[in-house]
Amino acid sequence: MRIVGGIVLVIVAMAAGLFGALMLGVSGLSWAGPGLTVIPYSDSDDGERAIGIGMGVVALGAWVLLTLAGFFVARGRTRTRSSRVVAGILVVVSVVVVLGATILATSAPPPVVENPPPWNRA
């Protein structure tokens, strides 16, 4: 039963981590520029981006905590070989999926030139 509980915790953790990766990518955070940059889009303001980045960071923090909780629940107090293996596999799968999604979401290069449409010129 504890292994099922650990699996459920890690699945919930992966959902939170994937949501965090999505929010970081949608808010325009990018590693493709010179370091960590925020892609300047003309159709959004800084407040929306800050909220998106904050939600992404909080979701990734929840992912870390839920993954650790799933590891300790699946491992249990007895610490048999099978429970250690299952707990380790759960953590490895969670880390690979969420870090892969985060890298994929934040590796979008910034646009070269963003020209406003002619009806939006001052």
Instruction: Convert the pLDDT of each residue in 78-101 to its tens digit.
Output: 778 888 898 999 999 999 999 999
Looking at per-residue pLDDT, the higher value among 114 and 12 belongs to 12
> Does 121 reside within a domain?
no
41, 114 contact by CB (below 8 A): yes
Report the chain's mean pLDDT, rounded to a whole number. 85
> Does 48 reside within a domain?
yes
> Does 119 reside within a domain?
no
pLDDT at 96: 97
Percent of the chain topping pLDDT 90: 47
pLDDT at 71: 93
Average pLDDT in the 28-34 region? 79
Q: Which domain holds residue 76?
A: 2-110
Domains identified in the chain, total number? 1
What SS3 state is found at 10? helix
> Does 118 reside within a domain?
no
What is the rounded distance in angstroms from the CA atom of residue 97 to the CA atom of residue 74?
19
**Burial letters 13-24, b for 16+ CB under 10 A, else e:** bbebbbbbbbbb
> Does 120 reside within a domain?
no
Looking at per-residue pLDDT, the higher value among 66 and 40 belongs to 66
What is the phi/psi pair of residue 28, to 5°?
95, 15
